[in-house]
């Protein structure tokens, strides 16, 4: 098991539980617990080796903090705690600002529009950020995409800075000719 997890990241780990095989009728799960919060990750077995996988979607829902973890094995009415420890969950730097997700969606929509425009597949009307647009000039779309990408890069750099990561710390300035 890991000692640190960033919410939003996927993780997997294994545990060798020779006395608790699936062939012997056992099931295994990892339980993360902090106060009244609990996350359960079911294990899959190959012989005596159990694999546990936490998807990024599952970990994104885990609140930051220090969790106790347990690997619990059950068979009928029997239960055995086979391993335990602590894990510190860090906040998801990308989810800390809901605007980040919206910026990504907007950039994807503009990129798709630019691609369709280049291919000649663009419809007469489309919508970005709830505004109806009719055949916007390609240069305007590229400028808007560049502006939104700059906003996103700045938000991500600030999030990395809050998490103690080094990286982009520059200021982005947009100028109009």
Give the C-alpha separation, 148 to 107, whole Å.
7
Please report which confidence band the pLDDT of residue 77 belongs to, taking 50, 70 and 90 as the band edges: very high
Res. 169: pLDDT tops 50? no
Res. 149: pLDDT tops 80? yes
What is the reported pLDDT for 159? 65
Instruction: Please give the structure tokens belonging to residue 63.
Output: 């609140």
Residues 6+ apart with CB under 8 A from 83: 1, 15, 70, 71
DSSP category for residue 6? E
| Residue range 144-172: mean pLDDT, rounded | 69
What is the reported pLDDT for 42? 95
What is the reported pLDDT for 167? 45
The residues facing 34 across adjacent strands are 37
Res. 30: pLDDT tops 80? yes
Q: φ and ψ at 85, to 5 degrees?
A: 180, -165
Instruction: Please give the structure tokens belonging to residue 153.
Output: 């890069």
Class of domain 4-90: mainly beta
Domain range summary for the chain, segments of one domain joined by + = 4-90, 98-162
| Residue range 93-109: mean pLDDT, rounded | 78
Beta-strand (E) ranges in the chain?
A: 4-6, 11-16, 27-34, 37-46, 49-54, 65-75, 78-90, 125-128, 131-134
Above pLDDT 90, what percent of the chain? Answer: 42
Q: φ and ψ at 40, to 5 degrees?
A: -115, 130
Half-sphere exposure of 21 (CA within 13 A, CB side): 7
β-pairing verdict for 125-128 and 131-134: antiparallel
Res. 107: pLDDT tops 70? yes
């Amino acid at each position: 098991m890991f000692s640190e997890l960033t919410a939003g990241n996927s993780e997997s780990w294994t545990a060798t539980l020779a006395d608790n095989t699936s062939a012997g009728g056992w099931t295994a799960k990892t339980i993360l617990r902090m106060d009244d919060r609990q996350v359960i990750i079911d294990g899959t077995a190959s012989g005596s080796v159990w694999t546990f996988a936490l998807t990024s979607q599952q970990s994104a829902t885990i609140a930051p903090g220090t969790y106790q973890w347990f690997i619990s094995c059950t068979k009928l009415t029997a239960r055995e705690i086979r391993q335990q420890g602590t894990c510190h969950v860090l906040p998801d730097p990308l989810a800390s600002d809901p605007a980040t997700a919206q910026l990504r969606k907007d950039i994807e929509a503009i990129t798709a529009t630019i691609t369709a425009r280049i291919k000649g597949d663009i419809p007469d009307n489309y919508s970005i950020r709830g505004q109806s647009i009719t055949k916007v000039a390609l240069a305007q779309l590229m400028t808007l995409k560049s502006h939104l990408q700059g906003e996103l890069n700045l938000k991500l750099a600030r999030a990395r800075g809050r998490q103690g990561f080094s990286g982009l710390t520059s200021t982005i300035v947009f100028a109009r000719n």
